[in-house]
Structure 1
Amino acid sequence: MSTRDRSSTLTELARLGFSELGAAESLLAELEQELGLDRETLTGQVADAADPDAALGALARVVRRDPEPVKAIQRDPRGWRALWALLGASTGFGEFYLRRPEELAHLAGAGEYLPSAEELRTALLESVGARDGFAAEGGESAWIALRVRYRAMLARIAAYDLLSAHPVDEIAAVAAILADAAGAALEASLCVARTRISGGSGAALFPREQVAGTELAIIGMGKTGARELNYVSDVDVIFVTGADDGVIEQVGESRVVDIATRLAVQTMRGVSGAEIEPALWEVDANLRPEGKQGALVRTLDSHLSYYDRWAKSWEFQALLKARPIAGDAALGEAYVRAVQPKIWTSAARENFVDSVQRMRERVTEHIPADELAHQIKLGPGGIRDIEFTVQLLQLVHGLSDDRIRQRGTLEALEALVAEGYIGRPEAATFARDYGILRVLEHRMQLRNLRRTHLMPSKPDELRVLARASRLADSGPAVWQVWESVKREVRDIHVRLFYRPLLSAVAALPAEERTLSTEQAHDRLAAIGFADPAGALRHIAALTSGLSRKATIQRHLMPVMIRWFADGADPDYGLLAFRRISERLGDSPWFLRMLRDSSAAAESLTRVLSGSRYVGELMEWIPESAAWLDDDELLIPRTGHALQQEARAIQTRHTTTDDAMRSVRALRRRELLRVAMAAILGVITVEQLAEGLTTITEVTIQATLRAVRREIVPPEDAGLDFSVIAMGRFGGRELGFGSDADVMYVYRPNNVDPQRAHELALQLVAALRRHSEDHRVPLDLDADLRPEGRNGPLARSLDAYVEYYRRWSLSWEAQALLRARGIAGSVKLIAEFMKLADQVRYPASVDLQAVREIKRIKARVENERLPQGADPARHLKLGPGSLSDVEWLVQLLQLQHAHDVPALRTTSTIAALRAAVEAGLVPDASADRLAAAWRLASRLRSANTLLSGQTSDVLPVDRKRLDGIGRLLEYPPRSATQVEEDYLGTTRRARRVFEKLFYG
């Protein structure tokens, strides 16, 4: 061949789709000689091969093994075209025909139509010589014959599928016949099993008449039961046995179960066991009662007893698709009839939807990270999202509507449309996307005749997938199709499940079907609303009318309903949103934010359904919704900025009451800012504590300036007065619901001492009165002052000096460890702190003082816990919680701060780090103490944020505990995990505390 002719030939091969031109040229020359065919005849069907190089290579290998079957099928135009399509899409079929070239004969006429269920059944039963339920023989050769014939019939199905101009339109028919093929294969394998255990392959395990009298029904589950099977997929089954009264009376029920169990084992082995001819697919019986731990075969009565007493919600969802596929048809139908009522009442079970949703989440959680973006079946936007959505709709509404009780996904979609549960446009798009995803999955499984649900990543594989699926003309294009479908499926899940709620209460186009109020009520209850009737009223109020706001909220409400339902308290969240929306009216910025910022809208639902504390404040400060559109607006403001604003407020107002009303509004606003930031994860627990402390300081400073102006006359202006922060306030460690521990100090200067004392007490009283806020209480707690509640509320500096010199107790020195001046005379604060340093950082601590501190700690644990409270759940005083960590750190400070300057800090965590650096606490021990302190602090704040009420006890109520977990960024339904984490963390911290504090 001349160079020009060879170049022309290679160009033609490239045009036909070959990539490896030299190899293709060589193989075609070989086939021309072996088959006696010209080049044009050989390559006439190359266009049907998704991978021409792979098809040609596989064909050449078969011809080398045995050319005659290839010559025969070449004479059949349809068979020849089918062969190229199969070999070009499936290396698995190339290997099959290499093992069994004679099976090419079954491709004659292939591609024109799908084989029928009866045709498949007849062919597979014939392959094992079945008659009257028994095979001709029970040896391994029968299983091999079955597997070979199954693959030959599978090739006819695949040929029709691959040659279809619109495979998405054919997916339902293809998946259905694949399920029928699986049922026929199990039927044939069961015939072999009967022969096998009754002596057909050696010694008989059971008499033939007993085997014949034992009924075994094979129930298809999942995709098999729904007639939606893949080419290579696990076939989920349940085995049910029985026998007529005569057989049971003769041999006993246990004998029948033994026979049926042996039949089931052998039936599964015939399809899935290791033989010369590879297994067809895995038979999976793990959906049976008790799963892998349960009996493989049960009687019908045993199944029903289990479902009545022990079954979980997901098991009823699995039964939704149950269908007899092989074995005793009457027994199988009896099983399905018996479980139907149980399936359709399961949605009424408590927490049904939660349990089903959690099951879906667990599937996603277990996908390896490197597979997530490629998962066609299980990933977000994949097949399972569609099936889950449809099944949940069926189960929720099927309780009262038997017209939507369909096994198949597409049939169920049609029924849901017909009965008005979803709109036709959404269902049509969902159905198309489902078809596309299934075609992609099918093509990937055909490639190697192996189970897979992953999109390929290599360019060559994507190119082959594009050609085989007919969904795109290139690899990048088919990937774009896949990404587009994923996005659409994720979005349509929301629209299918939530939009019909809106239809029940808002005007929609006349051509759209709507849910009745009762149906919408049921749907809201199913997704987690405790008061569905109230929720419907709120939705109606938000979306009714022709205003611009109603129009925007009609569009957004379906999505927001889902977001509310995901929260800890959807009913309160929706109520609070309605109130805020009504307060803001038609504010342009609010409507624009709802319309243009889905992130802000979602954040709004999250904070409202997760926190009554936030919801109640937002009702008073609705304009705070604007912060949700910009994380920078959620960052706590600096003390300097707040001070400037507070001073400006006081400049504008002439009376103390007016000024303090504005200061309280400032405090509420900033508390709300910090709360929203904490819930949305914008700030850390340390930033939260810092922000709350700063707000409290500024409030007290502003209040003191206001009341001093009112109470102290000019002639007494020499009076110095200061507020000293104590406890967690002094340590800048406040959480939501924390008291503000304080002490008050004054110095008369040129004021009469008695007059100075009276003025100081008036200042204290005014501070406490004007700082009161019924919305978000600010309790100025002075119980840490000398002598506690029995001591005077305010003392002069000289009185403090005298007291600490003569009468101070060890606990009072300990209390001073977190003392920090925050308001009033700067000079007086400096002198008081100098005094405090002398008391709290002594050169030495006598042994008796240490014993006293330990004794007081034990008394606090025994006496200060609320009556009836579980100590292990008390976040402040419980073992391993806040007080343990703080008392240990404070003891170390008393003992060592004189010599270790780094310990001279009011911060618990900073002091703990200093103790580690000084070698006083091991690293691992400090880590455990810090973890317990931080977790207890976060839980205290979350407890207050959730309920709007202060509590130091970790709740036992699972719903509240789950809500607290949500605020701490646990996944939904994590109540048990929150509890276990806290108890485990504090248990470890307590061991450290006891060793270091009491040891």
Structure 2
Amino acid sequence: MAATGTAPGGRRGELSAYARAGFQHLTAARDGIGALAERLGDCEPAALLEGLAVAADPDAVLMLLLRFAETDADRLVLLDAFGWRRLCLLLGASPALGVFLLRHPGLIAGLVARDGRLPSGEEARAELLAAVAPRGEALAGEAGWNALRVKYRELLAGVALFDLVSAGSHEEMPDARPAFEAVAAALSALADAALEAAIAVGRATLLAEGSAPRVAPDKLADLRFAVIAMGKCGAEELNVVSDVDVMFIADGDERAATALAREVMRAIHDPSLELPLWQVDANLRPEGRQGPLVRTLGSMLHYYERWAKAWEFQALIKARASAGDLQLGEEFVAATRPLVWASSNREDFVGSVQRMRERVTEHIAQDDVPYQIKLGPGGLRDIEFSVQLLQLVHGQHDEHLQLRGTLPALRALVEDGYIARTDGERLGEHYRTLRVLEHRMQLRELRRTALMPRDEEGLRVLARASGLARNAAELTTLWDTVRREVRELHLKIFYAPLLSAVAALPDEEFVLGTEAAKARLASIGFVDPEGATRHLAALTSGSSRSAKIQRNLSPVLLQWLAEGTDPDFGLLAFRKVSEANRNSSWYLRLLRDGSLAAERLTKLLANSRFAAGLLESHPEGVAWLERDDDLAPRDPKALLSEMRSLGSRRSSLESAAERLRGVHRREILRLAMGRVVGVLDDTDVARGLDGAHTAMLDAMLIAIRSHHAGEAEPPELALIGMGRFGGGELGFASDIDLIAVTRGGAAASAAVSPAVRMVTELRSLVSDPRFPVDLDFDLRPEGKNGPLVRSLESYRSYYERWSVTWEAQALLRARHAAGDTALSEEFFAMADPIRFPAEFGESQLREVRRIKARVENERLPQGQDPSMHLKLGPGGISDVEWLIQLLQLQHAAEHPQLRTVSTLAALEAAAQLGLIAAEDAETLEEAWRLASTLRSALRLWNGRATDALPRDWRDLAGIAGVLGEPRDRTSDLIERWHSVSRRARAVFEREFFGYREDALFPEVQA
């Protein structure tokens, strides 16, 4: 070859130049290039080295070139610098093609001088058909096979060279990913052309003298024969070397068709002088290897209509008429497309596809798993299965998704909102990366492989050939990163619950505004289909990405909403939440891609007006639905710290209060959401409510004190929790019972007045227009008629002189809630002898019994059925708490275990002490828990606090919906309550009043 440049100077400089060029055996390279230069005449070693430097494996290329020079040096000499570099580039990536060119050196000049474009499908067919029919008639037998294979490999070498140089300068190893789709399409076109040429050779072979079997000319002439490409070839994403999956369809003599199909396969892959091209695999045909090799169109359609399994329809996504009678092939494809896109309606379709993907992984040899670029976790199959499953599930109603190719389908899924744009872009980039690596590995030896090299040298050559990394270490890092990210995205997409939900929907499609759509909405439970369609139109109208995503989600969301108690309200609330989060990119992505969020949101909105109302004021709370931990109660210390910090940073007391109310409302919402979706139980809710209320009260008091600090020294103030708040046993329907304590003498009104102003201001500031918060001080001495705040001495004086038994009983659940802890401790030191009296005689017992009977007679709402009242009715909350409190009044002085503010803790202690039978304690606990649960559930359902169990079936269904119980058996709730409360009442009457079943105490009768 004509060459320019100078030889590397000096031994050390010379060898370093070979190292920079990529040689591993430097001395051998220097000697080899010297020998090559001699054989090529006046070539300079530096010029030869310049071309070899672009090769992925210059050592292997040098060996091949030396062999070329021995047999046909003149052809190499004729190459200019451009052609020399292109030849080195090709041989460095594919020594196997170099061996092929050794056998056919006459192809070199034309190959390296190609115009840099890929042949079209028509051009490839024409060239291959001309190669197998040089005189107008196709060659028969092995002569035809060899002519086909030589021309195919010549064209393959041209495609490979285009791939190697198209994405960058031919002087450097380019990144081939941008050219992948064009290259894969060209390889598919070559396969089509090879099959077309093989049909011509096969027909000639069957007509040749002495052929076995020999087919009558008229039968072959009348035979319509089509090849259907499947898999990557059908998708026009073929590998360099891969099985080409096909099916054969014929119209005519079946014996002739089968013989022709066998000849087509032999022409491609049977042993001969020229090596086989690839395996023609017909095992995707109906019944696989057990089924006939060729079927008629009618037989094919009959099979797919009656017997085909889910995986067979998945395979048909990529079916394409490839060769032969293309019209016949297109008839098959057109007839099966509706079956493909309707296949997701089959029972457990998504599950069957998911299990099939898992079986593929299970069949990989364990040692190969970390190196499997195709079948292993994070490999090509993960991407392909993810895309195909989404296509099959959504493609029935979205024609944009009815595409064969993985990358075109992935782009359509992103464009129509089924996959997040960033996720789709990452999957597409990783797919190209994996396919380029696969191409380069297969190109090297022209053999099918999908295993990453395990040795350093193999990785180094692959890195240089692909242009994706500079060395083995970088390539290994890239492979690990791609594999990890692909696996994460696959698991996120492939196992998303929305897929199963969409696939399980009935065939009817929601078409906005149609009568059929309204009828469908009515049939699944919407009371106002007109209103529902308006809300849907507001959510899904337009061509924006968010509207597309909402359209994709709406059928499943409607189905889930319909499973709730009030789907109409749920849809309205969903619209409000969606509009509030309109500008939040995470919102729709969370609904589409989240494993739980969408279903949980619909359950929440259709079953809880209380939670839906709070969510309107804090719509970003939807994000919590994805993780159980986000729905758990906040740590009380962290919450208190947050509230104190927020309150201290505000310029005015009103703004501080507004911010504190917002945080408090946020935490109540978190608890409501967690309870409705089943993450939290009543104990968790009580703990969370206690933390939220106490943090708000404490932070609010600090804010009040700090904003009035300049006026006068604010008085010391402590808030004492009472009732269920004091016991830490709050539900959503519970009041916040408090009493307030300050310092000062028994009659020190001057000290009390500022404290009264603080408490009055506190009550005003905690009042939330979006979420009613009522601080109830009615359990203070003298009730509503007594002063709102008393000094510690005033409490002491009152309790010593005027206290009655019920006030001592109320103190049993008193504990510090907010404010001055030292003051609270002094209060309890004063209160303990009162609530845990050393003596509790018969008169006190009779007083407690008398007050309880009076409460039952007077406080129960007029006209209310006592058996339905969860608090004051027989066996209700009041019965259990009064009995436990009586035991505490009687025995807590003697037994410290009973000195607890918790009803259930005191009940457990009483049972352990033998003050009540264990079986009776279980009965009381069951009644107390059930009543508390039902009260909270009713508040969550309709947003109203009430103590009575409703009789209206809709409210009962609402309670059942909140509790996750069947809504069609609402009578079971009432029956269960009556059963539990009757047993609890029997225990209460026996233990509290000392009743026999046939007698009543006189004081109660009075």
Shorter-chain TM-score category? 0.5 to 0.7
Q: Note the 1:512-523 alignment, pairs <5 A.
A: 512=545, 514-515=547-548, 517-522=550-555
Contact 2:373 2:434 in 1 (8 A): yes
Alignment partners' CA distance in 2, 1:527 and 1:53: 64
Give 1:365 deviation, angstroms: 4.1
Provide the C-alpha distance between the structure 2 equivalents of 1:381 and 1:537, rounded to a whole number of angstroms: 41
Partner residue of 2:395 out of 380, 394, 398: 398
1:560–1:602 contact (8 Å) kept in structure 2: no
Is 1:189 the equivalent of 2:344? no
TM alignment of 1:252-271, pairs within 5 A: 256-271=253-268
Whole-Å Cα distance in 1 between the matches of residues 51 and 10 of structure 2?
A: 23
Q: Is the 8 A contact 2:417 2:549 kept in 1?
A: no
Equivalent residue for 2:61? 55
Q: Is residue 142 of structure 2 the alignment partner of residue 136 of structure 1?
A: no
Q: What's 2:432 paired with?
A: 435
What does residue 445 of structure 2 align with?
448
Q: How far off its partner does 1:21 sit?
A: 0.5
Secondary structure of residue in 2 paired with 1:149: helix
User: For the residues of structure 1 that align with 2:355 and 2:159, how far apart are their CA atoms?
Assistant: 37
Partner AA of 1:71 in structure 2:
L
Alignment of structure 1 residues 615-764 onto 2, 5 Å: 620=685, 623=688, 710=886, 764=919
Q: Counterparts of 2:632 and 2:312 in 1: how far apart (Å)?
A: 35
The aligned residue for residue 555 of structure 1 is: 586
Cα deviation 1:931-976 (Å, max 9, x = unaligned):
xxxxxxxxxxxxxx99779xxxxxxxxxxxxxxxxxxxxxxxxxxx
Q: 1:447 deviation in Å?
A: 2.2
How many Å separate the matches in 2 of 1:656 and 1:372?
A: 72
Q: What is the percentage of aligned positions where both structures have the same residue?
A: 38
Cα distance per residue 1:90-113 (max 9 Å; x no partner): 232233334544543552413722
1:324 to partner: Cα distance: 0.9
AA aligned to 1:155 is: A
2:229 aligned with 1:226: no
SS, match of residue 515 in structure 1: helix
Query: Mapping of 1:961-972 within 5 angstroms?
Result: none
The DSSP-based 3-state class of the residue aligned with 1:218 is strand
Cα distance in 1 for partners of 2:258, 2:110 equals 35
1:82 counterpart (86, 89, 97)? 86
- How far residue 242 of structure 1 moved from its aligned partner, in angstroms, is 0.7
For residues 556 and 335 of structure 1, what CA distance do their matches in structure 2 show? 43
Q: Partner of 2:117: helix, strand, or coil?
A: coil
Deviations 1:770-799 (A, max 9, x none): 443565999xxxxxxxxxxxxxxxxxxxxx
Q: Distance in 2 between matches of 1:534 and 1:660?
A: 43
Contact 2:686 2:728 in 1 (8 A): no
Any conservation in 1 of the 2:344–2:392 contact (CA below 8 Å)?
yes
Counterpart residue type for residue 157 of structure 2: A
Q: Does 1:15 align with 2:20?
A: yes
Give the deviation of 1:360 after TM superposition.
3.1
Q: Which residue of 2 aligns with 1:772?
A: 927
Give the equivalent residue in structure 1 for 2:461.
464
The secondary structure found in structure 1 opposite 2:246 is: strand
Whether contact under 8 Å (1:521, 1:536) holds in the other structure is no
TM-score, length-normalised on structure 2? 0.56
Q: Is the 8 A contact 1:232 1:450 kept in 2?
A: yes
SS at match of 2:468: coil
- Taking the aligned partners of 2:431 and 2:441, their CA distance within structure 1 comes to 16
Task: Pick from 102, 119, 125 the counterpart of residue 129 of structure 2.
Answer: 125
The one-letter code matched in structure 2 to 1:555 is W
- The residue number in structure 2 matching 1:210 is 219
Cα offset for 1:319? 1.4
Shift of 1:175: 0.4
Contact persistence 1:69–1:102 (CA under 8 A) = no
> Are positions 1:155 and 2:157 aligned together?
yes
Contact (CA 8 Å) 1:396, 1:526: kept in 2 or not?
no
Deviation per CA, 1:210-267: give whole Å up to 9, x if none. Answer: 1232222100112111111110112111111113xxxxxxxxxxxx222212222222
Change (3 A) 1:576 1:127: farther
Deviation at 1:508, TM superposition (A): 13
Trace 1:819-858 onto structure 2 (pairs within 5 A): none
Whole-angstrom CA distance in 2 between matches of 1:611 and 1:50: 61
1:237 matched to 2:246? The reply is: yes
Secondary structure, aligned partner of 2:224: strand
- Tell me which amino acid in the other structure corresponds to 1:233: S
SS at 2:193 equivalent: helix
Question: Equivalent residue of 2:225, what SS?
Answer: strand
Task: State how far apart, in whole Å, the 2-side matches of 1:147 and 1:122 are.
Answer: 14
Give CA-to-partner distance per residue, 1:70-123, whole Å, 9 cap, x none. 436x52555433321121112322333345445435524137222232332233
Query: Tell me, what secondary structure is at the counterpart of 1:262?
Result: helix
CA distance in 2, matches of 1:602, 1:357: 30
Offset from partner CA, 1:185-215 (integer Å, 9 cap, x none) = 1122222222333345534432122123222
Flag the 1:142–1:436 CA change in 2: closer, same or farther, 3 A.
same
Give a deviation string over 1:694-718, Cα, whole Å, max 9, x none: xxxxxxxxx9999687469979999
Alpha-carbon distance in 2 for matches of 1:425, 1:441: 24
Contact 2:128 2:151 in 1 (8 A): yes
Pick closer, same or farther for the CA change 1:708–1:316 going to 2, 3 Å.
Answer: closer
Residue identity opposite 1:143 in structure 2: W
The CA distance in 2 between the partners of 1:538 and 1:361, in whole Å, is 39
CA 1:28–1:578 in 2, change beyond 3 Å: closer, same or farther?
A: farther
Note if contact 1:237-1:287 (Cα within 8 Å) is conserved in structure 2: yes
Q: How does 1:108-119 map onto structure 2 within 5 Å?
A: 108-110=112-114, 112-119=116-123
Please report how far the alpha carbon of residue 569 of structure 1 lies from its aligned counterpart in structure 2 after TM superposition.
Answer: 9.1
Pick from 46, 50, 53: which aligns with 1:40? 46
- Decide which of 27, 32, 35 is 1:27's aligned counterpart: 32
**1:770-809 pair list within 5 angstroms:** 770-772=925-927, 775=930
Q: Which residue identity lines up with residue 162 of structure 2 in the other structure?
A: Y
Question: Conserved in 2, the CA contact under 8 Å of 1:576 and 1:615?
Answer: no
* 1:172 aligned residue: 181
Post-superposition Cα deviations, 1:322-371, rounded to whole Å, max 9, x if no partner, equal 11111111211111121122223333444433333333343344444444
Residue 96 of structure 1: which of 86, 96, 100 is its match? 100
Change in CA separation of 1:766 and 1:142 when aligned onto 2, cut-off 3 Å: closer
Shift of 1:176: 0.4
For 1:83 and 1:47, the matched residues in 2 are separated by 12
- Structure with greater Cα Rg: 2
> Aligned equivalents of 1:461 and 1:421: distance in 2?
39
Matched, 1:329 2:362: no
Structure 2 match to 1:252: none
* Pairwise CA distance, 1:396: 3.6
Question: Which amino acid is the alignment partner of residue 96 of structure 2?
Answer: G
Cα offset, 1:541, TM superposition:
5.3
Q: How far apart, CA to CA, are the structure 2 residues paired with 1:196 and 1:411?
A: 40
Q: Any conservation in 2 of the 1:92–1:448 contact (CA below 8 Å)?
A: yes
- Kindly tell me: are residues 523 and 265 of structure 1, through their superposed partners in 2, closer, same or farther at Cα, counting changes over 3 Å? farther
261 and 202 in structure 1: CA distance in 2 versus 1, 3 angstrom threshold: closer
TM-score normalised by the chain length of structure 1:
0.57
CA distance in 2, matches of 1:418, 1:41: 50
Give the alignment of 1:236-635 within 5 angstroms: 236-243=245-252, 256-416=253-413, 427-486=424-483, 489=486, 512=545, 514-515=547-548, 517-522=550-555, 540=575, 542-545=577-580, 555=586, 558-559=589-590, 562-564=593-595, 572=603, 594=624, 600=629, 614=679, 620=685, 623=688
Q: Which amino acid aligns with 2:140?
A: E
Between Structure 1 and Structure 2, how many residues are aligned?
675
Residue identity matched to 2:225:
L
Whole-angstrom distance in 2 between the partners of 1:535 and 1:264: 60
- Asked if the contact 2:497–2:595 (Cα under 8 Å) also holds between the matched residues in 1, the reply is no
